[in-house]
Each structure stands twice: as structure tokens, then as C-alpha cells.
């Protein structure tokens, strides 16, 4: 299982780096081309074109014993 450490992307069109830090926090870049949601609970992306952002999220593997 993976634990989310950081939930962020960078828009390739306007250069904004946007981050969602808590559950259901929807954040959109200034040009409106992409968005991020989910905080540290889930990774959700919204976009006009699937190649319009760079994923900057960080996750780590956790042991599920």
C-alpha cells in the first residue's frame, strides 16, 4: 500500500504549482487547464489535456502487516 506524502502538480501552460493539502480541497491553476484534489487521502487530477501537467506528488510504500 502507498501513503501520500505530497499531492501536487505543475501546469505546463501557466507554470503554476498547485497542491491539495486536505481531503476534498480542490485547487485549480490560474489558467484553468488543470486541477488537483484529495489532499493526503487520494490523488485526483482534472485537466483539459492529459499532457498539460507534471505530477509532483510524492508517495511512499508502507507495510500492511
Q: What is the pLDDT of residues 8-64, one digit of tens each?
A: 999 999 999 999 999 999 999 999 999 999 999 999 999 999 899 999 999 999 887
Domains identified in the chain, total number: 1
The pLDDT value recorded for residue 59 is 96
Domain enclosing residue 38, as ranges: 2-61
- Cβ contacts of 12 within 8 Å, gap of 6 or more: 51, 52, 53, 54
Please count the residues of the chain.
65
CA–CA gap between residue 4 and residue 15 (Å, rounded):
23
pLDDT at 64: 72
Amino acid at each position: 500500500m502507498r501513503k501520500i506524502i505530497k499531492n501536487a502538480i505543475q501546469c505546463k501552460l501557466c507554470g503554476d504549482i498547485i497542491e491539495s493539502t486536505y481531503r476534498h480541497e480542490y485547487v485549480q491553476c490560474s489558467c484553468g487547464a488543470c486541477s488537483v484534489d484529495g489532499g493526503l487521502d487520494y490523488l485526483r487530477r482534472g485537466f483539459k489535456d492529459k499532457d498539460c501537467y507534471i505530477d509532483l506528488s510524492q508517495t511512499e510504500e508502507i507495510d500492511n502487516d
